[in-house]
Every structure is written in C-alpha cells, then in structure tokens.
Amino acid sequence: MPKTRDTPQRRAIAAVLERAEGPLSVHDILQRAQREVPRLGIATVYRVLAELRRARAVVSVEVAGHPVCYEATRRAHHHHFHCRRCRTLYDVGGCVAELASLLPRGFQLEDHEIVLRGLCARCAPLSPAAPSGG
C-alpha cells in the first residue's frame, strides 16, 4: 500500500463524492470538482477514482442505459431505482433478507446490488411511455 499524498485535486474529488445526493458520472464529478480546481483534468479524476475504489472508499454503479457512476461507500447501505421515463437514478434505502437463499450450494455471498426499474413518483402520474428511444 503506497502512501497517498494530500492534494487539492484529491480533496476536491473526495468532497464532491461526499456531498453527492446520489451516484455521479465521471463527467459530473469532473465538472463539480473543477469549481474548486479549474485546471483539473479527466485523467486525474479517473486515477483518483481508481484509487478510491481500490481503497473501498467508493464503488461504481453500472446500470444499463446509464453512464458508469460512482458513489462514496460511507453512505449507508442502499440500492438504486432507475426511472425509465426521466432516467433519473435514485437511491433507495433498505434491503431484503433472503438473498443468500438464492445461491447454489458452496457459493459464498459477500455483497450484492439491486437495481429497481419503473416509474418514479414524478413520472408515474404522467403517461407510462418513455420519452424517447429506449
């Protein structure tokens, strides 16, 4: 484990992830962190994210039809809801218990991820059709 230096770039990126109200794309992270460090480059964002992920401080969230997103681990265990109409990715709290029972004999469950899909409270009252090609 090499020592990591404390730099403005790293602090800005970490702060953005702490403040985030939900998963952020790499582009989001870059733009928000650039408010603090204007010359921040995309390569640094990727490098810091890879490091934070290695340190288990962030996890990536990959949902079909969405750019890869990142989220700080310190936030309580939760899952995601993807609205098929407005495409927003929501955090949802809580979890389900009997996941381990799905596994065949011999498999060890260490972690899991649940993505729910449908219409969010804002979109459900409107037409049930997607806005564009899907």
Partner DNA sequence: GTTGCTGCAAAAAGTTTGCAGGACG
Partner DNA sequence: CGTCCTGCAAACTTTTTGCAGCAAC
Q: Which residues bind DNA (CB under 7 A)?
A: 2-10, 26-27, 37, 39-44, 46-48, 50, 67-68
Name the binder of 87 from a second copy, DNA, none, CB < 5-8 A by kind.
none
How many whole angstroms separate alpha carbon 24 and alpha carbon 47?
A: 16
Q: Minimum Å distance from CB 56 to a second copy?
A: 10
Q: Which of 19, 42, 86, 113 binds a second copy (CB under 8 A)?
A: 113
How far does Cα 113 stand from its chain's mean position? 11
111 exposure class (CB count in 10 Å sphere: 0-12, 13-18, 19+): exposed
Secondary structure (3-state) at 12:
helix
Q: Minimum Å distance from CB 95 to a second copy?
A: 7
23 exposure class (CB count in 10 Å sphere: 0-12, 13-18, 19+): buried
Residue closer to DNA (CB basis): 37 or 120: 37
User: Is 7 a residue that touches a second copy (CB under 8 A)?
Assistant: no
Q: Minimum Å distance from CB 81 to DNA?
A: 21
